[in-house]
Amino acid sequence: MQQPPTSHARLQAWVDEVAALTTPDRIVWCDGSESEWTGITDALVDSGALVRLDPAKKPNSFWARTDPGDVARVEERTFICSVDEADAGPTNNWMAPAEMKATMTELYRGCMRGRTMYVVPFCMGPLDAPQPMFGVELTDSPYVVASMRIMTRMGAEVLSALESSGADFVPALHSVGAPLEPGQQDVPWPCNETKYISHFPETREIWSFGSGYGGNSLLGKKCYALRIASVAARDEGWLAEHMLIMKLTSPEGRVRYIAGAFPSACGKTNLAMLEPTLPGWKVETVGDDIAWMRFGEDGRLWATNPEFGLFGVAPGTDFHTNPNAMRTLAQGNSIFTNVALTDDGDIWWEGMGSPPAHLTDWKNQDWTPSSDAPSSHPNSRFCTPIEQCPILAEEYHDPRGVPIDAILFGGRRKTTIPLVTEARDWVHGVYLGATLSSETTAAAVGQVGVVRRDPMAMLPFIGYHAGDYFQHWIDMAKGASGDAAKLPKVFYVNWFRRGEDGRFLWPGFGENSRVLKWIAERLDGRGEAVETAIGHVPTPDALDTTGLDISEADLAAALKVDRDEWLAEIPQVTEWFTKFGDKLPTVLWAELDALRARLTEAA
Ligand X SMILES: O=C([O-])CC(=O)C(=O)O
Choosing from 191, 223, 266, 383, which is the catalytic residue? 266
First-to-last C-alpha distance (Å) of the chain = 83
Residue from 299, 378, 288 nearest 340 by CA: 378
Q: Closer to ligand GTP at the Cβ: 313 or 445?
A: 313
The β-bridge relationship of strands 381-385 and 335-337 is: antiparallel
Length of the chain in terms of residues written: 603
Residue 214 interacts with ligand X (CB under 6 A)? yes
Task: Please state the closest distance from residue 452 (CB atom) to Mn ion, in A.
Answer: 16
Residue 422 interacts with Mn ion (CB under 5 A)? no
Q: Closer to Mn ion at the Cβ: 219 or 523?
A: 219
Q: Which does 267 bind (CB under 5 to 8 A by kind): ligand X, ligand GTP, Mn ion, none?
A: ligand GTP
Residue 73 interacts with ligand X (CB under 6 A)? yes
Contact between 267 and 410 under an 8 Å Cβ cutoff? The reply is yes
Structural element, H or E, at residue 91: none
401 annotated to bind ligand: no
Q: Is 185 left (phi over 0), alpha (psi -120 to 50) or beta?
A: beta
Dihedral over Cα of 535, 539, 544, 548: its sign: positive
The β-bridge relationship of strands 78-80 and 196-200 is: parallel
Instruction: By CB under 6 A, name the one of 142, 177, 190, 315 that touches ligand GTP.
Output: 315
Contact between 36 and 123 under an 8 Å Cβ cutoff? The reply is no
Adjacent-strand bridge partners of 489:
406
Which residues, other chains included, contact 73 with Cβ-Cβ below 8 Å and sequence gap of 6+? 197, 213, 215, 216, 222, 264, 443, 444, 445, 460
Contact between 282 and 276 under an 8 Å Cβ cutoff? The reply is yes
Region near ligand X per CB under 6 A, out of 214-222, 279-287, 332-340, 563-571: 214-222
Determine the Cα–Cα distance for residues 319 and 440; give it in Å rounded to an integer: 26
Residue from 11, 38, 50, 41 nearest 27 by CA: 11
Residue 494 interacts with ligand GTP (CB under 6 A)? no
Instruction: By CB under 5 A, name the one of 36, 289, 422, 454 that touches Mn ion.
Output: 289
Task: Please state the closest distance from residue 575 (CB atom) to ligand X, in A.
Answer: 25
Which residues, other chains included, contact 251 with Cβ-Cβ below 8 Å and sequence gap of 6+? 279, 280, 281
Coarse DSSP helix, strand, coil percentages of the chain, rounded to the nearest 5 percent: 35, 20, 45
Structural element, H or E, at residue 219: none
Determine the Cα–Cα distance for residues 262 and 508; give it in Å rounded to an integer: 14
Task: Please state the closest distance from residue 595 (CB atom) to ligand GTP, in A.
Answer: 26
269 annotated to bind ligand: yes
Window 497-516: contact mask with ligand GTP (x via CB under 6 A): -------x---xx--x----
The CA angle 6-10-15, to the nearest 5 degrees, is 65
380 annotated to bind ligand: yes
Q: Closer to ligand GTP at the Cβ: 14 or 506?
A: 506
The CA angle 208-212-218, to the nearest 5 degrees, is 65
Task: Please state the closest distance from residue 393 (CB atom) to ligand GTP, in A.
Answer: 17
Residue 262 interacts with ligand GTP (CB under 6 A)? yes
Task: Please state the closest distance from residue 290 (CB atom) to Mn ion, in A.
Answer: 7
Active site residue 266: yes
Q: Which does 215 bind (CB under 5 to 8 A by kind): Mn ion, ligand GTP, ligand X, none?
A: ligand X
Window 237-276: contact mask with Mn ion (x via CB under 5 A): ---------------------------x------------
Structural element, H or E, at residue 595: helix 586-601
Residue 71 interacts with ligand GTP (CB under 6 A)? no
Task: Please state the closest distance from residue 168 (CB atom) to Mn ion, in A.
Answer: 26
Q: Closer to Mn ion at the Cβ: 211 or 264?
A: 264
Instruction: By CB under 6 A, name the one of 107, 340, 443, 480 that touches ligand GTP.
Output: 443
Window 166-205: contact mask with ligand X (x via CB under 6 A): ----------------------------------------
Instruction: By CB under 6 A, name the one of 75, 289, 350, 454 that touches ligand X.
Output: 289
512 annotated to bind ligand: yes
* Crossing angle between the packed helical segments 426-434 and 586-601, to the nearest 10 degrees: 90
54 annotated to bind ligand: no
Task: Please state the closest distance from residue 136 (CB atom) to ligand X, in A.
Answer: 20
Residue 311 interacts with ligand X (CB under 6 A)? yes
Determine the Cα–Cα distance for residues 168 and 165; give it in Å rounded to an integer: 9
Q: List contacts with Mn ion (CB under 5 A).
A: 264, 289
Q: List contacts with ligand GTP (CB under 6 A).
A: 262, 264-270, 288-289, 312-313, 315-316, 321, 443, 495-496, 504, 508-509, 512
Give the residue numbers annotated as catalytic, written as ranges. 266
The annotation places the binding site for substrate at 73, 213-215, 264, 379-381
The annotation places the binding site for Mn(2+) at 222, 242, 289
